[in-house]
Structure 1
Amino acid sequence: MMPQPVGKSGMCLKYFVVAGTDELVIIDILSHRTVAQRQRIKEAYKQAIGKDLADDLSSELSGNFRSVALGLLMLPPVYDAYELRNAMKGAGTEEACLIDILASRSNDEIKAICAVYKKEYGKSLEDAICGDTSGMFQRVLVSLLTVSKHSAPFPLQLLKNTQFLSSIIYEAGEARWGTDEVKFLTVLCVRNRNHLLRVFEEYQKISGRDIEESIKREMSGSLEDIFLAIVKCMKNKPAFFAERLYKSMKGLGTTDSVLVRIMVARAEIDMLDIKAEFLKMYSKTLFSFIKGDTSGDYRKILLELCGGE
């Protein structure tokens, strides 16, 4: 997505309110500006007509197209907090949203999300998660919120002994009857990326299996999903998102919540890398998948965010 000058974007968006909705103008402006530029457009729009751009878009648009447009107007931690709130609001929980966000964000990003969540929704994200999830899945989510998994220092002796940590995971799963999930949590949630990658290598030597294969053998449901997400994000985050996008569109129907969330959140971060991984993994372009699985203005704005073949 190539950013364009803000220019008269605020006035162009003012025009669609006065003269009727022009979806192509909305798509062009929102999908070809950076997050910072879109914030300035929001300010210019409010100054020009005294109304909030998000409110007007919400009343003028509908469906998944509206979800994408509104998401693009938010700062990243605000959007993540908003998605987490929606995932836990009302009856039921969208575990996939909690996993996608909390397993993939950096420590600094997690801190920003927690601060926004507290400010916007009047309670801590940890309290919200504890009130909406349970068991070991809840404990993993809380651990991801509270530890510096990407940057925390750890004892030098552990740096020198990745085999020790690998053996902890092996003995907690493959080497025993049943699974000690706490030991998986202890290792996977509190080490930084470089160290974990070395642990994964040692684990394969000890067990003869890739860590992902062992997680699939030892666990199930949301707990399996979140441990796999942690490992995949540590190994190759763009590939993780490429797989999530593929699964959201393959077969009958589309999981639009996943498709929208990833396309909005990753558009300015690693979309080029995600596209490259998607092509390598599935021998088809992300652009072609989106084009074949969506329609209308929703398709148009997603394809603009994708940035071509």
Structure 2
Amino acid sequence: MPPANRPEKKSSLANKILKQLPLADKTAVWGTLGTIRPLLSFEVARDVQSLLDAVTDKVVEYGTIINLLTNRTNGQRQQVAEGFQDFTQQDLLKTLRAAVSGNLETAVLGLLRPAAQYDAHEIKAAMKSPEGGATLAEILCTRTNQQLQEMLDFYKHDFKLDLEADIAVSGTDSFFKDLLLALIKTSRERYSGVIDYILIEQDAKDLVHASGGETGRLDERKWIGILTQRSPEHLNRVFSLYHKMTGLQLEEAVAKFFQGDAQVAGLTLVSVLRNAPLYFAIRLRQAVKGPGANHRTLIRILISRSETDLLSIRAEFRKQYGISLYSFIRAETKGNYRAILLGLCKAEDL
């Protein structure tokens, strides 16, 4: 076979293997689908000295900083930050911030903050941006009830403001505003393992009626109530029944009935409920290649999913675009910024 044909065959074989992988919808037996797991040989004092040496030499040792931050969990990084403060009487975040810049600085700051605090600061930045609707939808639609509550606490502590009040007085349209407010109330039900067919049918009918049904009027509050309170397992059955009743996938219905930020938030929520890793895979590519590309989004997703489901996202990215996320990042970025992103991504998917 000519050499030029070999990559194509390899790619085809890889796609077949990927289709058999359960990464997108099952939890691995070892408990996490993240690329970053606790370092077993972790020693705070050693890490503190390594970082101190990296920033006090004549030339900043970027490789040391990147390697350390991308091979420790968030919890371990917080211990290192505390140890650095105790040993030097200096704030590690401020120290490293003075040593790095640009996208690398954004990534370093994201890695050093507790996850919920990082979310709070990303939310605050999005609130100030005219294009922040997608970021608000991404964060608020993809965090657990506990993560949302912790984020709300950090938001209030760091900014001396209440996020619910900030959203209430924002200039966003009513559906988008009401959806965000409903999400931060952290009232989504947990799946009990019992399939409630009566409620599934009722919710599907309610969505049909809320879409215009017999009245011809869109009932936004009914949409919000169902999408923000029911468990993902329940809602996926509702979505299937809605499709049978109307001929529309729920994503098609959202695109048809809503506009602007309301449509973005609705599509985000439905996409996450269906297949969160696929949603993030698409969002990652858009962050680099799509209209309004934003590397801050690329950084945020890699950091926020690195301890939960980045392996699943990598698998979905490979299936969706025919290239590994690792190769995509390597081709689209450069320098120390590329190194820290690849450190989070970890490996190729062949």
Asked if the contact 1:93–1:132 (Cα under 8 Å) also holds between the matched residues in 2, the reply is no
Q: In 2, Cα distance between the equivalents of 1:274 and 1:46?
A: 35
Of 123, 129, 140, the residue aligned with 1:102 is: 140
Alignment of 1:171-210 (within 5 A): 171-173=209-211, 175=213, 177=216, 179-210=218-249
Tell me the equivalent position of 2:12: none
- 2:130 match: secondary structure: coil
Q: Which amino acid aligns with 1:225?
A: V
Tell me the equivalent position of 2:208: 170
Q: Which amino acid aligns with 2:42?
A: V
Is 2:318 the partner of 1:285?
no
Of 98, 119, 122, the residue aligned with 1:59 is: 98
Asked if the contact 1:245–1:258 (Cα under 8 Å) also holds between the matched residues in 2, the reply is yes
What is the CA-CA distance between 1:164 and the residue it aligns to? Answer: 1.9
Give the direction of change, closer, same or farther, for the CA distance of 1:252–1:199 in structure 2 (3 Å limit): closer
Q: Which amino acid aligns with 2:299?
A: V
Q: Which amino acid aligns with 1:35?
A: N
Is 2:161 the partner of 1:123?
yes
- 2:142 match: secondary structure: coil
Q: In 2, Cα distance between the equivalents of 1:47 and 1:57?
A: 16
Structure 1 portions without partners, runs of 5+: none
Give the direction of change, closer, same or farther, for the CA distance of 1:225–1:70 in structure 2 (3 Å limit): same
Of 35, 42, 49, the residue aligned with 1:6 is: 42
Moved more, 245-254 or 270-279: 245-254
Q: Which amino acid aligns with 1:78?
A: Q
Give the direction of change, closer, same or farther, for the CA distance of 1:157–1:101 in structure 2 (3 Å limit): closer
Tell me the equivalent position of 2:32: none
Alignment of 1:80-95 (within 5 A): 80-89=119-128, 92=130, 94-95=132-133
Moved more, 185-194 or 251-260: 251-260
What is the CA-CA distance between 1:159 and the residue it aligns to? Answer: 5.3
- 2:97 match: secondary structure: helix
- 1:40 match: secondary structure: helix
Is 2:79 the partner of 1:40?
yes
RMSD: 2.1
Asked if the contact 1:248–1:259 (Cα under 8 Å) also holds between the matched residues in 2, the reply is yes
Q: In 1, Cα distance between the equivalents of 2:236 and 2:292?
A: 36
Normalising by structure 2, report the TM-score: 0.82
Tell me the equivalent position of 2:261: 222
Is 2:315 the partner of 1:276?
yes
Tell me the equivalent position of 2:11: none
Asked if the contact 2:195–2:234 (Cα under 8 Å) also holds between the matched residues in 1, the reply is no
Normalising by structure 1, report the TM-score: 0.92
Tell me the equivalent position of 1:111: 149
What is the CA-CA distance between 1:117 and the residue it aligns to? Answer: 1.1
Moved more, 144-153 or 185-194: 144-153
What is the CA-CA distance between 1:193 and the residue it aligns to? Answer: 1.6
Give the direction of change, closer, same or farther, for the CA distance of 1:33–1:24 in structure 2 (3 Å limit): same
Structure 2 portions without partners, runs of 5+: 1-34
Q: In 2, Cα distance between the equivalents of 1:186 and 1:129?
A: 18
> C-alpha deviations, 1:125-157, integer Å up to 9, x for none?
10122232432211110011114114389xx99
Asked if the contact 2:201–2:238 (Cα under 8 Å) also holds between the matched residues in 1, the reply is yes
Give the direction of change, closer, same or farther, for the CA distance of 1:253–1:292 in structure 2 (3 Å limit): farther
> C-alpha deviations, 1:69-120, integer Å up to 9, x for none?
111111111111111112124x635111111100111111111111121122
Asked if the contact 1:165–1:199 (Cα under 8 Å) also holds between the matched residues in 2, the reply is yes
Of 254, 269, 276, the residue aligned with 1:237 is: 276
Tell me the equivalent position of 1:140: 179
Asked if the contact 1:249–1:289 (Cα under 8 Å) also holds between the matched residues in 2, the reply is no
Give the direction of change, closer, same or farther, for the CA distance of 1:104–1:253 in structure 2 (3 Å limit): closer
Q: In 1, Cα distance between the equivalents of 2:121 and 2:290?
A: 28
What is the CA-CA distance between 1:263 and the residue it aligns to? Answer: 0.9
- 2:230 match: secondary structure: coil
Higher relative contact order (CA 8 A, sep 6+): 2
Asked if the contact 2:106–2:296 (Cα under 8 Å) also holds between the matched residues in 1, the reply is no
Identity among equivalent positions (%) equals 32
Give the total of aligned pairs.
306
> C-alpha deviations, 1:33-56, integer Å up to 9, x for none?
111111111122122221011001
What is the CA-CA distance between 1:178 and the residue it aligns to? Answer: 5.4
Give the direction of change, closer, same or farther, for the CA distance of 1:253–1:204 in structure 2 (3 Å limit): closer
Tell me the equivalent position of 2:6: none
Q: In 1, Cα distance between the equivalents of 2:60 and 2:119?
A: 28
- 2:72 match: secondary structure: coil
